[in-house]
Structure 1
Amino acid sequence: MGTYTANVRWEISEGEDFPTNKYSRAHVWSFDGGAKVPGSAAPGYLPAALIDESAVDPEEALLAAAASCHMLYFLAYAAKAGFSISSYEDNPVGEVEKNEAGDPWVSTIVMRPHAAFTGETLPGAEEIEHLHHKAHKSCIIANSLKSAMTIEPIIEG
């Protein structure tokens, strides 16, 4: 169905000491369309001097990828069903825990998407739930993860 690529690049800066673990974790993600995103380790794992808190960490990127994938399928299914949406927002939350072997992993992801529907034909709560179910079932990222994923749509009205 497709092959996807990205480039992740890090290099040591002058004055940093790799053997003693005193080096910046800041790096750059580059994508085929030309976008470059600053990346770094997540805050809390290392001293602040070794990370770039303004950069995206892998855990945040995982949440954003899952929420973005879900949103894109949701929007497609809503349009196909004849609904109009003026905005969509989600603030996914992931929990990192240790597994049975003591290794950290993102054990749960909770998404709380909110779509603002407009127009003459508005979906009911059951239709919105159905659209989210279809989107979740179709999402490539969700289908690739072993994390427990919950979709809790915010439904107005």
Structure 2
Amino acid sequence: MTHQYQSHIVWTGNRGEGTSGYRSYDRTWDIAIEGKPVIHCSNDPLLGGDPAKMNPEDLLLSALAACHMLWYLHYAAVDGVVVLDYQDTPVGIAELGPGGAGRFASATLHPKITLQPGSNVDVAHAIHGRIHEVCFIARSVNFPITYEPVFVFADK
């Protein structure tokens, strides 16, 4: 079975001269999918982009963490682990090669997961090891992903 995903990217960086020169245009665009909020994006600030806007690296890292979270919540529900809150601050490490070509070398997810008192922390921790087998994004990237979860229990 296959699924189709579609996006719509609209370049917004034409200052009136198009790409007539290397510095004559902005590296900005919108992700504009019908029926969804527009996401304004820019190049990485290291490459002259707008630091207030999402860049492709932000989006990839966020997609990876979100996919992991969604599968984690699924397995937690199936395994009887009650999650009350889930937050992540993933970190991606990028490498720049000769000529400026870059790639992600690794990513580490840092989920902070609040569990209902009485939840089995060993089961909660083991769930992370199963997600890479099913997460679309994790299965699609070619760099290692590690997990450093922190578990806390909610106040009774």
1:130 match: 126
Of 149, 152, 155, which residue of structure 2 is paired with 1:153? 149
What is aligned with 1:36?
38
CA contact (8 A) 1:98 1:105 kept: yes
Paired position in structure 2 for 1:108? 106
Distance 1:94 1:29 in 2: 22
Which one-letter code corresponds to 1:45 in the other structure? L
CA shift for structure 1 position 29 = 0.6
Q: For residue 80 of structure 1, give the secondary structure of its aligned residue in structure 2.
A: helix
The aligned residue for residue 19 of structure 1 is 20
Q: State the distance in 1 between where 2:74 and 2:11 align.
A: 36
Q: Which residue of 2 aligns with 1:144?
A: 140
TM-score by length of 2: 0.86
Cα deviation for residue 82 of structure 1 reads: 1.6
Residue 88 (1) aligns with residue 86 (2): yes
**CA positional deviation for 1:42:** 0.7
TM-score after normalising by structure 1: 0.85
Deviation at 1:36, TM superposition (A): 1.1
Checking the alignment, whether the CA contact within 8 Å between 1:6 and 1:32 is kept in structure 2 is: no
> Which letter does structure 1 place at the counterpart of 2:9?
V
Q: In 1, Cα distance between the equivalents of 2:111 and 2:53?
A: 24
**How many percent of aligned residue pairs carry the same amino acid?**
28
Compared CA separation, residues 65 and 15, structure 1 to 2 (3 A): same
Number of paired residues? Answer: 151
3-state SS in 2 of match to 1:19: coil
Gaps of 5+ in 1: none
Gaps of 5+ in 2: none
Q: CA RMSD in A?
A: 2.1
Equivalent in the alignment of 1:8? 9
CA distance in 1, matches of 2:113, 2:34: 29
